[in-house]
Chains A and B, each alone.
Chain A
Amino acid sequence: MRNCEDVFERLYEYINARDLDSAAVEDIRGHLALCRRCYEVYEFERRLVARLQESGACPCPETLKRKIAAFLQI
């Protein structure tokens, strides 16, 4: 990545660990190691996504699990 703009554009792909080839991942990692501003934004967004993920975690009701298991003939 040549500049911060490039990093910002790919930040969520980097956080998601998808859709970036290894060269791009290395570029971003290198930039984040050197650029304090980008690192702050990255850390913030990464933690925000983590909290969002937690809020979307709801275990499947047991009754539904049993019903589907029965349907699949477990």
Chain B
Amino acid sequence: MAADARQEFREKGLPLLDELYGTALRMTRNPQIAEDLVSDTFARAWKNLGQFEPGTNIRAWLYRIMTNAYINDFRKDRRHPKEVALDAYEKIEDFHLFNKVSRRASPAAEPFDDVVGRLTRADFQKALDDLPEEYRAAIVLYDLRGLSYQEVADALSVPLGTVRSRLARGRKILQKALWDHAADAGLVEKDNNGAGIESAELNK
């Protein structure tokens, strides 16, 4: 019984290393700490194999172990995550980036390609890394890794409603950051404050 669980873990756990490392890197934002987190995750999983039911979702199980370890042991500020100020997200609408890109003065034939397509991988990583960490964790697990709401809730040890609100707020902040990156890169027009502007303001 134990030998079966170990064999299943070897066969199914190892192929997940790349995505687990990628996730750890986005969570910790530090390659060395990410390596430690991944090592620690596998060590804990191996030690607790008795709790894993063969045939169930090993991927979700590993993400839960890793996220718990991140929250409890590997975060910079372990006890009191900073509260996110309301004004970080309350004035940003849903689909913010789509709205901004669609409303440009001279929309290109392919608005997505013209703006988002020209942002670099580093721009995306920075926008993600700059997110308040509880939003970043939710977005990485749900949008990047495709876990379900319940799996994310289990990984973060929060209710489903909290997962949804962190995702909604995180996406808003992320999309605003991407628009600002586009403005900094000269892909879209800037206003006096250096933020990207839309066509309505251009016509004033």
**What residues of chain A have their CB less than 8 Å away from a CB belonging to chain B?**
8, 12, 16-19, 40-41, 43-45, 47-49, 51-61, 64-65, 67-69, 71-72, 74
* Alpha-carbon distance A67/B144, docked complex (angstroms): 26
Q: Is B94 an interface residue (CB 8 A)?
A: yes
Chief secondary structure at chain B's binding surface: helix
* Alpha-carbon distance A47/B38, docked complex (angstroms): 29
Q: Contact mask B138-155 → A, CB, 8 Å, 1/0?
A: 011011111111000000
Q: With A45-B95, A48-B97, A52-B143 given, can you name 18 additional A-B contacts, CB distance below 8 Å? A: A18-B147, A18-B148, A40-B98, A45-B98, A47-B116, A53-B144, A54-B124, A60-B20, A60-B21, A61-B31, A64-B39, A65-B14, A68-B17, A68-B39, A72-B6, A72-B9, A72-B42, A74-B10
Please list 13 pairs of residues, one from A and one from B, whose beta carbons are closer than 8 Å in the complex, sorted by A's number.
Answer: A8-B95, A12-B142, A12-B143, A16-B143, A43-B112, A51-B124, A52-B124, A56-B22, A56-B145, A57-B19, A58-B21, A64-B17, A72-B46
**Within the complex, which residue of B46, B98, B149, B171 is in contact with A41, where a contact is CB–CB below 8 Å?**
B98
Contacting residues, chain A, for B43 (C-beta < 8 A): 71
Contacting residues, chain B, for A58 (C-beta < 8 A): 18, 21-22, 25
Minimal beta-carbon separation of B17 from chain A (angstroms): 4
Task: For the complex of A and B, list the 10 residue pairs with the smallest distance between their C-beta atoms, beginning with the closest.
Answer: A55-B124, A60-B21, A60-B17, A18-B148, A58-B22, A56-B144, A44-B98, A55-B121, A55-B125, A60-B18
Query: How many A-B residue contacts, CB cutoff 8 Å?
Result: 107
Q: Is B13 an interface residue (CB 8 A)?
A: yes
Contacting residues, chain A, for B102 (C-beta < 8 A): 40
Q: Contact mask B7-35 → A, CB, 8 Å, 1/0?
A: 00110011001111111011000010001
Contacting residues, chain B, for A18 (C-beta < 8 A): 146-149
* Alpha-carbon distance A40/B116, docked complex (angstroms): 14
